[in-house]
Structure 1
Amino acid sequence: MSVWDEVVGQQPTVELLRRAVRSARGDGAGMTHAWLFTGPPGSGRSVAARAFAAALLCDEDEAGCGTCHSCHTVLTGSHADVTTLRTEGVIISRKQALELLPLAQRRPSVGRWRVILVEDADRLNDYSGNAMLKAIEEPTARTVWLLCAPSADDVLVTIRSRCRHVGLRTPPPQAVADLLVRRDGVDPQMAAFAARAAQSHIGMARRLATDEQARIRRREVLAVPLKVHGVGEAVMHAAALLETAKEEAEAGTAERDEAERADLLRALGADPSSRTQPPHVRTQLTALTKHQKRRATRFLGDMVDRSLLDLLSLYRDVLLLHADPEAELINAEIRPDVERLAGQLSPAKTVRCMDAIRETRERIGTTNSTPLLALEAMTLQLRADA
């Protein structure tokens, strides 16, 4: 077992990080105080960053053993010297950034390094980025910053210029399938389907492989283009797309929310079965509920985006069939439907549909567009007669 086991399909990156860990332990060069991990969604950039943190803090001579106390606590998010900044909002606020600065100045309490992991560095704005910049520019001797973002261009230039860049790629589907079989005990055939359907997004592949309802919801999304003919149908199916995303978001957060509530009650010494809680417990529960609602809003946006990516994969398959009728498809399990859609759409119309989906992703992801209105505008353009 190793902390690197779940860094899938990234062997050059793993080797680079291993060398840095050896350097941090006094063997060679390659360690620096600030790192920027980039890669497309599902590539595992935060997984790689956390594995790196675990290896730096590992208790054993073979750094990154994956079994010692330090490795376990880093990977589970409970190590005293590892602070993780996530945001459930559109931006990381200046207040959130400033809260990290005193931590960055402290020496490690139990391990070799103090690690600050920022999972959404692309959400830093000028105010929060400038607040964080000073700490990154003038690091303490035993503090390491690990920043994650989809691409280097998404990060403020003043910050990325002070970080060592680690680029991750989309892992091969077979590598993702192998992980699902090894880690989650998934049937190899199901794992292969899930990895292909998720386009190598590790988290989504696991969800598709282990949750039948997730597979059903994905099929409902892929069925939309064949059902949209008139304006009324376009509006109706836009609402259906949003409802499907809401169901997926609720399914993806309900179990986690309940576990967090139970952990909080346990930590406060409260009785989970009690109908009323003491004031200090109610205050903590209210704060947790607000946090979970913010996270649910962001997760809904992620699920809408995931549905749009699934639709893009469908039109990608249609375009591929126009070029090669025997081509291997992402959505091979519904090949007859893809062939039927290819018979209805010219290559030019297919490209226009893909452009409409991309524009919708941008509207929802980077502006304040109402998701339903953006989806309605998109489905109107997906009509075969549009």
Structure 2
Amino acid sequence: MTNVFDRLTGQDAIADELRAAARAARMLAQRLDAGQSDGLFVPDDEIPGVDAGWSRASMTHSWLFTGPPGSGRSVAATCFAAALQCQAPDPADIGCGECRACVTVMAKTHADVRHVVPEGLSLAVSAMRDIVQAASRRPGTGRWQVVIVEDADRLTEQAANALLKVVEEPPPRTVFLLCAPSVDPEDISVTLRSRCRHIALVTPTTADIERVLVERDGLDPEQAHWAASVCGGHIGRARRLATDPDAREQREKALSLARAATRDSTAYAAAEELVKSADAAAKAIAAELDEAETEEMRTALGAGGTGKGTSRMPRGTAGALKELEKRQKSRATRVGRDVLDRALVDLAALFRDALVVSVGAQVTPMHPDKSDSISVPMGEYARPEQLLACVEAVLDCREALDKNVKPKFAVDDMVARIGLALKRKVDA
């Protein structure tokens, strides 16, 4: 792999569009250096390698990357940031992946590219103000100051307003790249969205994901094919399913709810087990991150020295550790919700497969490995309206979790509704 855009799986049209915009940005940077322009626009017919009239090539200061989970929103934004900073002498090679700028951007160590990732359930206004202030300076080593905001739908209203102010009057050398899920782009204010150029990514095909797992990750072709077929178009999830036994176990527990919900003796026990397993998985992920962060913070504050009086941190630094612990706790909550939400998506997809069977549609199943054991039998005895009620129960549970309802209560209610819907058909 050489060019950074090779990392975008199944997004060829998007890669061409971003590559053309990066060429326009390079030309604009040269004009800014010469004091010839104060706006982020270059006519298409002046960009090398771009046909006249191809409006997609124009550069702008704010972008919104949307797409379903796993489509590669943040990857696309990072690749574009690398192309903006790329030092390849030939514009045709922009985003070369080999120069120092490309390498450091992709490694997330470039001094002029900031990645903003909400650690908790939202991104506060104070953090956004600090980011905006830093991004308003002239770039130190690159052509642009680039700010990548992942999960921009988690911006609080005040944080979004702080970002909107600088997007409406952008510094000449700053580019904002926002990432948000396509299923809920309305979570970003209409005014902020209207100031951004929209890049809509699509779900990669099973064949694209399988090829990545085999060629890039070196996985066994059979395992890669299975993971690609059940991941729901999410490349990262396919990789975890293929390599992590815990991820496979979590999926099995989620799908087993469909059968357990039909019996009172197993329904709530299965629901409790799903919540517990999601919590355990989240704690394991968070603990790994927390340990490294805490040790880094303690070292930065002066702990661990070998001389006299240096083994302990200086006085007055305990507050910094408490603030870190607060952020870590918030992040752990978010990770737990995300893990559980992924399980619910799997469960909704299983009911969808059963619904497809019940109406006789010829559609590729989301869980092909469960067709014989769960989805086909369920689709044969349950009416479509009952399966739709099950899907709605799962989606309502996801919405309840998004509104901070305790996971146990939300999942218990979901299981009760699923059991009622399916048992009504069984008793009929």
TM-score for the superposition, normalised by structure 2: 0.83
Residue aligning to 1:385: 423
Residue aligning to 1:252: 285
Q: Take 1:261 and 1:291, find their aligned partners in 2: how far apart are those partners?
A: 11
Assess, with a 3 A threshold, how the Cα gap between structure 1 residues 214 and 272 changes in structure 2: closer, same or farther.
farther
Give the share of equivalent positions with the same residue, in percent.
42
The more displaced of 244-253 and 11-20 is 244-253
Residue aligning to 2:400: 363
Asked if structure 1 preserves the Cα contact closer than 8 Å seen for 2:301 and 2:313, the reply is no
Shift of 1:234: 2.4
Q: Take 1:328 and 1:92, find their aligned partners in 2: how far apart are those partners?
A: 38
Alpha-carbon deviations, 1:312-363, whole Å to 9, x = none? Answer: 1111111122234986422222222223333442222111100111111111
Residue aligning to 2:42: none
Q: Take 2:249 and 2:121, find their aligned partners in 1: how far apart are those partners?
A: 30
The more displaced of 127-136 and 255-264 is 255-264
Alpha-carbon deviations, 1:249-279, whole Å to 9, x = none? Answer: 2343444444444555666675499xx6424
Assess, with a 3 A threshold, how the Cα gap between structure 1 residues 340 and 251 changes in structure 2: closer, same or farther.
farther
Assess, with a 3 A threshold, how the Cα gap between structure 1 residues 225 and 49 changes in structure 2: closer, same or farther.
same
Asked if structure 2 preserves the Cα contact closer than 8 Å seen for 1:312 and 1:354, the reply is yes
Asked if structure 2 preserves the Cα contact closer than 8 Å seen for 1:38 and 1:150, the reply is yes
Residue aligning to 1:306: 342
1:101 correspondence with 2:132: yes
Assess, with a 3 A threshold, how the Cα gap between structure 1 residues 73 and 286 changes in structure 2: closer, same or farther.
farther
Asked if structure 2 preserves the Cα contact closer than 8 Å seen for 1:6 and 1:179, the reply is no
Q: Take 2:369 and 2:199, find their aligned partners in 1: how far apart are those partners?
A: 35
Residue aligning to 2:223: 190
Shift of 1:247: 2.7
Q: 1:58 aligns with which of 66, 71, 86?
A: 86
Residue aligning to 2:387: 350
Asked if structure 2 preserves the Cα contact closer than 8 Å seen for 1:124 and 1:156, the reply is no
Q: 2:369 aligns with which of 294, 312, 333?
A: 333
Task: Look up the SS of the partner of 1:4 in the other structure.
Answer: helix
The more displaced of 217-226 and 9-18 is 217-226
1:13 correspondence with 2:51: no
Asked if structure 1 preserves the Cα contact closer than 8 Å seen for 2:87 and 2:99, the reply is yes
Q: Take 1:284 and 1:180, find their aligned partners in 2: how far apart are those partners?
A: 41
Shift of 1:286: 4.4
Name the aligned partner's letter for residue 139 of structure 1: P
1:83 correspondence with 2:108: no
Assess, with a 3 A threshold, how the Cα gap between structure 1 residues 270 and 73 changes in structure 2: closer, same or farther.
farther
Q: Take 2:69 and 2:364, find their aligned partners in 1: how far apart are those partners?
A: 23
Residue aligning to 2:30: none
The higher radius of gyration belongs to 2
Residue aligning to 1:295: 331
Asked if structure 2 preserves the Cα contact closer than 8 Å seen for 1:104 and 1:135, the reply is no
Assess, with a 3 A threshold, how the Cα gap between structure 1 residues 344 and 227 changes in structure 2: closer, same or farther.
farther
Asked if structure 2 preserves the Cα contact closer than 8 Å seen for 1:40 and 1:169, the reply is yes
Q: Take 1:21 and 1:123, find their aligned partners in 2: how far apart are those partners?
A: 27
Residue aligning to 1:121: 152
The more displaced of 137-146 and 250-259 is 250-259
Residue aligning to 1:146: 177
Q: Take 1:382 and 1:224, find their aligned partners in 2: how far apart are those partners?
A: 9
- Backbone CA RMSD of aligned residues: 2.5
The more displaced of 251-260 and 304-313 is 251-260
Correspondence list, 1:278-293, <5 A: 278-279=313-314, 285-293=321-329
Asked if structure 2 preserves the Cα contact closer than 8 Å seen for 1:112 and 1:142, the reply is yes
Assess, with a 3 A threshold, how the Cα gap between structure 1 residues 323 and 77 changes in structure 2: closer, same or farther.
same
Q: How many residues are treated as equivalent by the alignment?
A: 385
Assess, with a 3 A threshold, how the Cα gap between structure 1 residues 237 and 7 changes in structure 2: closer, same or farther.
same
Shift of 1:282: 6.1
Alpha-carbon deviations, 1:136-161, whole Å to 9, x = none? Answer: 11111111011111134221111111
Alpha-carbon deviations, 1:160-213, whole Å to 9, x = none? Answer: 111111111111121112112222111122112112211011221111111122
Task: Look up the SS of the partner of 2:285 in the other structure.
Answer: helix
Q: Take 2:364 and 2:155, find their aligned partners in 1: how far apart are those partners?
A: 40
Assess, with a 3 A threshold, how the Cα gap between structure 1 residues 333 and 70 changes in structure 2: closer, same or farther.
same
Alpha-carbon deviations, 1:27-54, whole Å to 9, x = none? Answer: 6251111111111111111110011001
Assess, with a 3 A threshold, how the Cα gap between structure 1 residues 272 and 343 changes in structure 2: closer, same or farther.
farther
1:319 correspondence with 2:355: yes
Q: 1:30 aligns with which of 50, 58, 62?
A: 58
TM-score for the superposition, normalised by structure 1: 0.92
The more displaced of 23-32 and 348-357 is 23-32
Q: Take 2:285 and 2:4, find their aligned partners in 1: how far apart are those partners?
A: 25
Task: Look up the SS of the partner of 2:5 in the other structure.
Answer: coil
Q: Take 1:310 and 1:142, find their aligned partners in 2: how far apart are those partners?
A: 43
Name the aligned partner's letter for residue 63 of structure 2: W
Assess, with a 3 A threshold, how the Cα gap between structure 1 residues 260 and 196 changes in structure 2: closer, same or farther.
farther
